[in-house]
Amino acid sequence: MPNFDAPSRCSGPVTPTFRWYGYPQCEVGHDVNVAVAVLVDAISPAGRLWNPWSIQMAKSEFKQRILRAQRGELRPVDEVKPVDVANPPPLYEIRWQGIPVTDQLPDGSRRHGEVLVRMYHSEPAEAPSHFIGHHAHEKDVAVEDVNAAQQQEIRTAIGWHNQGQPSRWGLP
C-alpha cells in the first residue's frame, strides 16, 4: 500500500527535477519561470500594490525555494509538508510564510501585511526523479472555514495531477 505521508523528495538526499503541470501549461525547460509567474499571479489580486523592489523580492523568494527543493534542501513542515495523508495522489505543499504585501483599501488608504503562499505538487512513482507543480494560491486565513477553502485549492491541484497522468505530465 502506498505511503501518503512519506517525506517529500524536496527534503531528502535526492535531487529531484521540477516540472510544472498546471495552468498555464509550459514546455519542459520553462518550468521554474512559469511557476514563479503563477505564484506572483496568485498573490496579485485587484488592489494589491507592488513596487519594483518588493515584486522582485517575492519572485526571488519563490524561485530560490523551488531551486532549493530541486536540491532536496527544504525543511520538512516549515517549507514542505504532505497535505493529504489519507488519499491518493500523495500531494505536498511548498510553503512560503510572510511574503510582504501592500493593499489599496476601498477608502484609498493602504494596509501593509504579510501573506501565506502555497504551491501544491505531486511526487509520482511513475516519475521518481521529479516533483510536479500543479497549483499555487495565497492562503486566505480571513475566511470563515480556512480548511474548506484550502481543500478547494487542493482539489484543483488533484485535477491537474489527474489530467497530466496519462501523458506523464509532459515529461520526456
pLDDT per residue, tens digit, the chain (172 aa), is: 456 678 999 999 989 999 999 999 999 999 999 999 999 999 999 999 999 999 999 999 999 999 999 999 999 999 999 997 777 888 999 999 999 999 999 999 999 999 999 999 999 999 999 999 999 999 999 899 999 999 999 999 999 999 999 999 999 8
Cα–Cα distance for residue pair 139/136, rounded to 1 Å: 9
Quick one: which of 101, 37, 45 has its CA closest to 66?
37
Quick one: which of 9, 27, 26 has its CA closest to 17?
9
- What's the confidence (pLDDT) of residue 1? 45
User: Which residues make beta-bridge pairs with 110?
Assistant: 104
Quick one: which of 135, 167, 170, 169 has its CA closest to 35?
135
* pTM score: 0.94
1 burial level (CB within 10 Å; 0-12, 13-18, 19+): exposed
- What's the confidence (pLDDT) of residue 126? 93
What letter does residue 24 receive in the DSSP assignment? S
